[in-house]
Homo-oligomer: A and B are copies of this chain.
Amino acid sequence: MTAVQRPANRGRGRPRSTEHDDAILDAAVSLMREVGYARMSMEAVAAAAGVSKPTLYLRYAGKAELVVAAHERVRVGDAPAPTGDLRADLVAQLRHLHDVFARLGMSVIGVCLTEEESLPDLIAALRARSLEPGRQMMRDAIARAVHQGALSDGADAETAIEMAIGAYYARYLAGRPFDQGWPERVADATLRALGAPPA
């Protein structure tokens, strides 16, 4: 309907402010985390970003497009480097998972579930940007262990990964605290689920 997302722009005219670009996306992510999609108003995003509302609509066709774009920019952040030791890697990755959701906010996961039908692109973006990369890291770590002979082949890695990551959601939903030893406990249980020999 309206011009969107940097059309052509052969250097003519006033350049689009990249500061505004960033401020808008940051504001959108922040507000989503704080109040969710439905209660996030374009007015509030504009105000938080320090721009006017039409500046939002110059960039995104509507609220839905804005929040999807905002979350496409969300990054998992510095993933922990693999150490070669599966248990250590799992612990690091579970700690990292905790950090990611602490920054992103579990409320965004909530929005994905609530708006699954009205906003399918949002959960798609989250899967591609955050969820799947996290799983892949675990997959890689397990593959390395198998390659090292530390783990017998044929283990049900996908299920183990689902359980390890899911433990986070389940604990969060149950309202239990993520105490110091949580990553270790889950890592150990995951190793057992993978059929790793006792340490």
Quick one: CB contact mask for A12-31 with B, threshold 8 Å, 1 for yes? 01000000000000000000
How many Å lie between the Cα of A153 and that of B168 in the bound state?
24
Q: Which residues of B contact A106 (CB under 8 A)?
A: 113, 116
Q: What are 29 A-B pairs with beta-carbon distances under 8 A?
A: A13-B52, A35-B118, A36-B38, A37-B114, A38-B38, A106-B113, A106-B116, A109-B173, A110-B115, A110-B116, A113-B173, A123-B173, A123-B175, A127-B173, A127-B174, A131-B174, A159-B186, A159-B189, A161-B170, A162-B166, A162-B174, A163-B186, A165-B166, A165-B170, A166-B167, A166-B171, A189-B193, A192-B193, A192-B194
How many Å lie between the Cα of A116 and that of B174 in the bound state?
12
Chain A count of residues within 8 A CB distance of the other chain? 49
| Contact with A110, one of B112, B127, B156, B171 (Cβ below 8 angstroms) | B112
- Whether B171 and A162, one on each chain, are in contact in the complex, defined by CB atoms closer than 8 angstroms, is yes
Given contacts A35-B118, A110-B112, 8 further A-B contacts (CB under 8 A): A36-B114, A37-B114, A38-B39, A113-B113, A161-B170, A163-B167, A166-B168, A193-B193
Interface centre among A52, A132, A173 (most CB of B within 10 A): A173
- Whether A116 and B107, one on each chain, are in contact in the complex, defined by CB atoms closer than 8 angstroms, is yes
Q: Which residues of B contact A166 (CB under 8 A)?
A: 162-163, 165-171
Asked if A82 is at the interface of the complex by the 8 Å CB criterion, the answer is no
Given contacts A38-B38, A164-B163, is CB(A111)–CB(B110) below 8 Å?
yes
A111 to chain B, nearest CB (A): 6
Q: In the complex, which residue of chain B has the Cβ closest to the Cβ of A110?
A: B113
